[in-house]
Chain A
Amino acid sequence: MSNAANSLAAPKKRKPTNIFKSDNPNQPQKPKRTKRSDRRKATENGIKALNPNWGYAFVAPFFVMFVIFGLAPVIYSIWIAFYNWDPLGDEQQFYGFTNFTDLIVDENFWIALRNTFSIWFFSTLPQMIMAIGLASILRNPRLKGATFWRTILLVPNITSVLAIAIVFGQLFGRDFGLVNLALTYLGMPSHIDWIAEPLPSHIAIATMITWRWLGYNSLIFLASMLAIPAYLYESADLDGATKWQQFRYITLPQLRNTITFVLIVGTIGGLQVFAEPLTLGGNFSGGDSRQFSTLTLYLYEQAFVNNRWGYAAAVGIFITIIVIIISAINFAITRRISSEDNDK
């Protein structure tokens, strides 16, 4: 009994030392091993009364839901990707790999892929910089009404995408939009067509996404900034570091894991951009020249406009493959970053 209590308490005790991880590089491997063996002992002695099979019951809700809403649709999609699938028809025509071979040579698909990455680029990177900046402002202890500012940061996030799209549609109107009006006052001679031109339309959509997610990401950065131990800044102050140097050499390196996290979540979200281009263009082709057609929009267009469900399923499988590749890259980068942390 005392053994178990010990092992449960032990990691808690060790925790403060974990923060100093970077200071004593040779420590980290050891405690993990003892922890694992202790845990086995804990089940043998301490919490014996609890039937281990209950564990399955506790995780079951997730897995049941996952099988119904996650796995089953995936298998179904793979299945119909091999057919010329008529959504309401009775008999389906087997197609073999036709949908996949068609897709590889489908220029519209590659346009959608290009657009998706372009929009992702314009929405993720500026947003990250702004979010870190905002978080640093909110972190300032001299800021008045900090809770108020932190709360209203989330307002864009809970606003309906449709409402955002309507408002931004007005802002980015070519003839009478506010953005163009402002540009005119700033001396830009001609109006930018925010919808018909590829690059401006990507920027318009990226602005919508940024506006919506900026506050959310700022709060994530803020949380991890608040977790940076204050003594680092204090010692930097003593050493005479400027505010910028403190930011550059303390805050940013400490945020590295959070940046990776935000980047991964942003990338996954970026690959699924759907509502913004749909509502901006008002149709499923993403503008008349497909200038802002995204991957998910293209999938939807094939399924629900052209009634080619099999082909749409093939598009879905390709999106999955792309996500897997990007996740693998992300994973590799994250691993390198964390090992760098340990090496220091």
Chain B
Amino acid sequence: MNRKISIRSAMALLVVASLTLIGIQPAQAAKTQVTIWSFGNVIEPWGETEYERLNPTIDLKIKKNSMDANHQSLITAFKANTTPDIAAIEVSYSGFFRNYPKYFTNLSGLVPENDYLDWRWAQGVAKDGKVIGIPTDVGGLQVAYRKDLFAKHGLPTDRAAVGALWPTWQAFINTGKTYVSKLTTAEKASCKTKKVCYGFIDNAGTMYPAILNQGTKKYYETNGTLIYENNAIVKTAFTTTATALNSGISTRINQFTSDWNAGMMKGIFATVLAPAWMLDYIKQQAKSTSGKWDVADLPGGGGNLGGSQLSVPIAAKHPVEAKNFIKWYLSKEIQLEIFKRYGLFPSASALYNNTALTGYKDKFFSNAPIGQIYVTGARQLRPIYEGKNQRAIDNYFGQALAKVAVGKMTASAAWADAIGQIKKNIRD
């Protein structure tokens, strides 16, 4: 009996002790912690510190993940009701989450809808009409090119003349062929001896999403049926990219690898298809090439790659504070500020006439009127429908193109391979 009591009191002591430990909180518990799950540079550091300065009672807790992992953990978090207060969702995943509005808070009326690019706004509207996300940036796509390398290889350097070189993607490929034909013998030999291949473009595989996004539909009809096999723009994007991969204009470097960063510094390639959000990355990675870059128009009209939205999950602990932050961070004024500081191109079309945006220049890119160039590109864009398993389908086409790139498959075999894989692996 005695022993039982002592065990009980020991248990009680343990419980009390653990409760006390849980009870001890950091001194600044008075602040409301708003948790944000993000990736890349959706929430820029300035936005975070500035908002916390303006709202001393708010503590923004940002958890950054890689792009895919961010969305994958969101799915499990929705299931387990452990969501953050704010979730950043990329457009290629917005088509997936649009099918599940019940997990999101309605954000309709939070910000003036008319301030935003209409088709970007539509990407944050669920299939039942509920507004589940407010657009952050538009990944307006242009061609960033090295002026010094263009001059060395007999191409014009002026951005208007450069843009005129490639009205179409085929012209872009031809320009690339001219460029690589003027590589020095040593540079040409380096591909065989050291497998360091000099080229015109960093990775011609990046042309695929660029061309695809110039259409209005990709893999899905707006009612959700799969059309990847018969949609002409998919086939065009695929074959054009395969042609480019086989034409020797591309290095074999993948983007966002260490080889890519090094290649940018060493001038292994002369062009990058650069969404607005990538310019800051180039600036950070290739500091020593400042002033040698410029930005020209994309072949085939404006282009788009990426862009995100901010959402408030239904299980958010601080939905009011979360909405307040979104309202502030995605307002046109702050979007302009973010553009100036980091180059994220605003989704707030209300800014597109603003001289602060259109007149924006960057020394790194030879004082190119980056604002004006990207505004012109964004205006040419047509709305594009993003479907449910689009990211997965993108992966299969990308893998097939990579097989073309390393010479393992012909373009038509790779196309058949991709279609076969998608049929087998994608249910809807």
Q: A residues touching B (Cβ–Cβ < 8 Å)?
A: 84, 87-89, 102, 106, 108, 169-170, 173-177, 184, 189-191, 193, 196, 282-285, 288-290, 302, 304-308
Contact = CB atoms under 8 A, between A and B. Distances in A.
B74 to A, nearest CB: 10
A288 B257 contact: no
Given A175-B263, A284-B68, A285-B399, A304 B194 contact: no
Contacts of A305: 68, 72, 391-392, 395
A291 B72 CA distance: 23
Contact of A289 (B100, B253, B408, B424): B408
A193 B391 contact: no
Given A175-B262, A285-B399, A306-B392, A84 B427 contact: yes
A308 B389 CA distance: 10
How extensive is the interface on chain B, given as a class?
A: 35 or more
6 contacts: A88-B100, A175-B263, A284-B395, A288-B399, A305-B391, A307-B392
Contact of B195 (A193, A285, A290, A302): A193
B402 A289 contact: yes
Given A175-B259, A189-B193, A285 B78 contact: no
B426 A306 contact: yes
B281 interface: no
Interface of B: 68, 72, 75-76, 78-79, 96, 99-100, 103, 192-196, 252-254, 256-259, 262-263, 268, 389, 391-392, 395, 398-399, 402-403, 406, 408, 421, 424-427
Contact of A176 (B262, B389, B421): B262
B259 A174 contact: yes
The DSSP consensus for interface residues of chain A is loop
A250 to B, nearest CB: 47
A289 B392 contact: no
Contact of B193 (A102, A170, A173, A190): A190
B194 A190 contact: yes
B259 A176 contact: yes
A60 to B, nearest CB: 13
A190 B408 CA distance: 19
Contact of A308 (B103, B194, B427): B427
A88 B425 contact: no
Nearest to B394: A305
A130 B79 CA distance: 45
A196 B195 contact: no
A8 to B, nearest CB: 22
A306 B72 contact: no
Given A88-B75, A282-B256, A306-B426, A288 B194 contact: no
B196 A289 contact: no
Contact of A306 (B78, B254, B402, B425): B425
A285 B392 CA distance: 10
Given A173-B262, A175-B263, A307-B392, 16 more contacts: A84-B427, A88-B99, A108-B421, A169-B258, A175-B259, A176-B259, A190-B195, A191-B196, A193-B195, A282-B256, A288-B399, A288-B406, A305-B68, A306-B392, A307-B389, A308-B427
A338 to B, nearest CB: 41
Contact of B398 (A102, A106, A288, A302): A288
Contacts of B195: 174-175, 190-191, 193
B46 to A, nearest CB: 26
A77 to B, nearest CB: 14
A184 B254 CA distance: 22
A243 B72 CA distance: 56
Nearest to A54: B7
Contacts of A288: 398-399, 402-403, 406
A98 B147 CA distance: 57
Given A184-B194, A283-B395, A305-B68, A196 B389 contact: no
A175 B268 contact: yes
A106 B423 CA distance: 12
A88 B79 contact: yes
A289 B391 contact: no
A88 B78 contact: yes
Contact of B75 (A108, A170, A304): A304
Contact of A106 (B78, B395, B424): B424
A282 B427 CA distance: 25
A14 B147 CA distance: 85
Contacts of A169: 257-258
B394 to A, nearest CB: 10
A234 to B, nearest CB: 51
B79 A87 contact: yes
A47 B99 CA distance: 64
B100 A89 contact: yes
Contact of B96 (A173, A191, A289, A307): A307
Nearest to B254: A282
A173 B258 contact: yes
The 5 lowest CB-CB distance pairs between A and B, nearest first, are A288-B402, A191-B195, A304-B72, A88-B100, A176-B262
A180 to B, nearest CB: 8
Contacts of B192: 190
A138 B424 CA distance: 53
Contact of A285 (B72, B76, B395): B395
Contacts of B425: 302, 306, 308
Nearest to B100: A88
B387 to A, nearest CB: 12
